[in-house]
Structure 1
Amino acid sequence: MEESAWHLVAMRDDEVLGYGRLNAFDSRLYGISQMVVASAFQGQGVGRQILRKLIAIARDHGASKVQLSARTHAIPFYRQEGFETRGGALSIRQNRRGACTDGEAHLNRYMPAWGHVDWASG
């Protein structure tokens, strides 16, 4: 753990399955970033477990809000976990050749949306 950041790596044996980072911006506001799951393990609950654990860490440290930015194709995943889009504005990224890539939205999750995370059931 850095002074205000937690890095969570999901592993099986020596193989990295996924990763996520949690930052404390202040005592009540936390941010999740760098969520990634290896393509061979996507759709198997790895990202959901990482996300839920990061949210639990934030909650345990007194967060009232967690925010993140997500690519547009991932918005339904985050909404299933209680996040809401912030302002509804999307930004479209361009690669170095000028081609549009996936857009990005900013999402928030507030304390009332948090429930108990049962790690035994996944």
Structure 2
Amino acid sequence: MNSNVQFVKTLLKYTFGLVPIVAGLDKFTNILTNWSQYISEGLAGLLPLESTTFMMIVGVIEIIAGILVLTKTKIGAYVVSAWLTAIALTLIFSWTYVDVAVRDLVMAIGAFSLAKLSQEGVGK
């Protein structure tokens, strides 16, 4: 059973480490999608900078969060879980891309699960 727990931890670690890094890098290129479309008009109006610049800042945060998962898994997983929850709540409150919000909440649960699995003594 311990080898299964270790396999799951490793799989989640690389998933929640690499995916935020890729998504963060894509904030600079928009190859996967136009990330600015996910900013509601209300939020965009409140920003003191352009939406594309804001998304680049978000990208840097995501890259850091992914690196944190890869290097300090427990804390990084909590950060990614909180980050995904915040994104989901923003989408829900603006009632846009609710399908993405639901997906992000499910991913947040997965990241939270990784954090719990990364506690001392789990899977050893």
TM-score, normalised via structure 2 length: 0.30
Larger Rg over CA atoms: 2
Q: 1 or 2, which has the higher strand percentage?
A: 1
Larger relative contact order (Cα-Cα within 8 Å, sequence gap ≥ 6) = 2
TM-score, normalised via structure 1 length: 0.30
